[in-house]
Amino acid sequence: MSSFILLQDIVYPSNQLSLTMIDLKEWSLMYICGSDSKKYLQNQLTIDMNILSDTDHTLCAHCNFNGKVWSTMRLFRYQDGYAYIQRKSISTIQIKEMKKYSIFSKIEFHELKNIVLIGLAGLNIRLFLLKFFITIPSKNCPVIHENNKTLLWYSKPSERFLLIISKSDFEQFKKKINQNIYLNNSKQWLLLEIESGFPVIDKMCENKFTPQAINLDILKAISFNKGCYYGQEIISRIFFKNSNKYHLFFLIGIGNLSFKIGTIIETKINNKWFKIGFLLSVVHVKYKEIYIQVVLHKSVDINNMFRVRGFKNIFLKKN
């Protein structure tokens, strides 16, 4: 018999995570199909669609004309087209912008609401999945499709997987589990994304940062050779002139207060506090630790003391 152990808002860092199933309700899956889908996405996204294989997934971004990021997403081949996973808070406006120039293209956009996204991570996660799948994705084949289910492999911060499955199939999947497994909410996956250094863009931070400011160049989520796409001219100019002024980091502090996404981050220099960046995402971890993802001016000494503006007693340090 299976035993599901429900965690009530207790989130663990990757190196302390037991076998865990994570309900990714804060993420959504968008599906793009039609004969012009590849060409259309080539003109919209920061990556080169021509080098995306059928068995791979990639981080990329959708930007506006000014080179500011609407959304960061995980893109891969799916069914007869492409799919991407992004934060649910941004999906409505992002897909509206994505569709804006599609009237003369043979392309369809769908937010798939009949499926669920499930994160699978923690101790012995690969052995767990071998009980249900013939093939498990890996570094050499990060995406597998099997019996109407899709599995994505992530290497960071430790091996983990994302399962795409219909609601009905997921109920059957759960019934077949015959060992103890923890159940957790989206905050657990958000923490793993922060630890991995993947930028998390929610609605409050749309159109605020260039891709380089959130490390998408370092993460190989930008093509500088593929030709035109929205924001390409400004993004390329930043690259070739080496004019990016910001980087993505994550900081750790102690406390149990709530911070608003987009809030200013300050650093202490000569006993005075100065604005140095912005808060992208935050997760409260067990024992009152706080992990936050921030965009900071790259001139900053990352070994400085930091704080969230308005919270004088909550200090943050580099992870």
Residues forming the annotated binding site for folate? 27, 189
Sign of the Cα torsion 30, 35, 40, 45 reads positive
Alpha-carbon distance of 64 to 73, in angstroms, equals 15
Q: Which residues are annotated binding-site positions?
A: 27, 189
Alpha-carbon distance of 161 to 143, in angstroms, equals 10
Cβ-contact 108, 95 below 8 angstroms: no
Contacts of 122 (CB under 8 A, 6+ apart): 17, 18, 19, 20, 160, 182
Neighbouring-strand partners of residue 219: none
Cβ-contact 248, 197 below 8 angstroms: yes
